[in-house]
Amino acid sequence: MSTHDHTEEHHTGLRVYAAVCLALFVLTAVTVYVAKFDFGDFNIVVAMLIASIKASIVALYFMHLKFEDKLTWIYALYPLFLLFLLIGFTIMETFTRVPVIK
Partner 1 sequence: MANGVMTQTQHIPYLAQKGLKSWILTTDHKRIGILYLVTISFFFMIAGLAALGMRYELMTPELDFFRTATEYNVAFTLHGSLMVFFFIVPGIAASFGNFLIPLMIGARDVAFPRINLLSFWIYLVGTAILLSALAQPADTGWTFYTPYSIQTGTKVIMITLGVFVLGFSSILTGMNFIVTIHKLRAPGMTWSRLPLFIWASYATAILQLLATPVVGITLLLLIAERAFDIGFFDPAKGGDPILFQNFFWFYSHPAVYIMVIPAFGIISEIIPVFARKPIFGYKAIAYSSFAIAIISFFVWLHHMFVSGISETAAAIFSFLTMLVAIPTAVKVFNWTATLYKGSIDFHSSMLYALSFIVLFTVGGLTGVYLGALAVDVHLHDTYFIVAHMHYVMIGGTVMGFFGALHFWYQKWFGKVFDELTAKVAWFLIFVGFNVTFFPQFFMGFQGMPRRYATYPEEYISYHSLSTYGSWILGLGILIMTVNLLIPLWKKGRPESSNPYGSLSLEWQVPSPPPHENFDEIPTVTDWTYSYGKNRSEANAKK
Residues that bind partner 1 (CB under 8 A): 1-2, 71, 75, 78-79, 82, 85-86, 89-90, 92-98, 100
**Residue 96: CA atoms inside 13 Å, Cβ hemisphere, count?**
6
Distances (CA, A) of 21 to 16, 26, 65, 86: 8, 9, 16, 31
Q: Which residues contact 85 (CB under 8 A, 6 or more apart)?
A: none
Cα–Cα distance between 23 and 29 in angstroms, integer?
10
Of the pair 29, 82, the CB lying nearest partner 1 is at 82
Give the shortest CB-4-to-partner 1 separation in angstroms. 8
Of the pair 25, 75, the CB lying nearest partner 1 is at 75
Give the shortest CB-89-to-partner 1 separation in angstroms. 7
Give the shortest CB-101-to-partner 1 separation in angstroms. 11
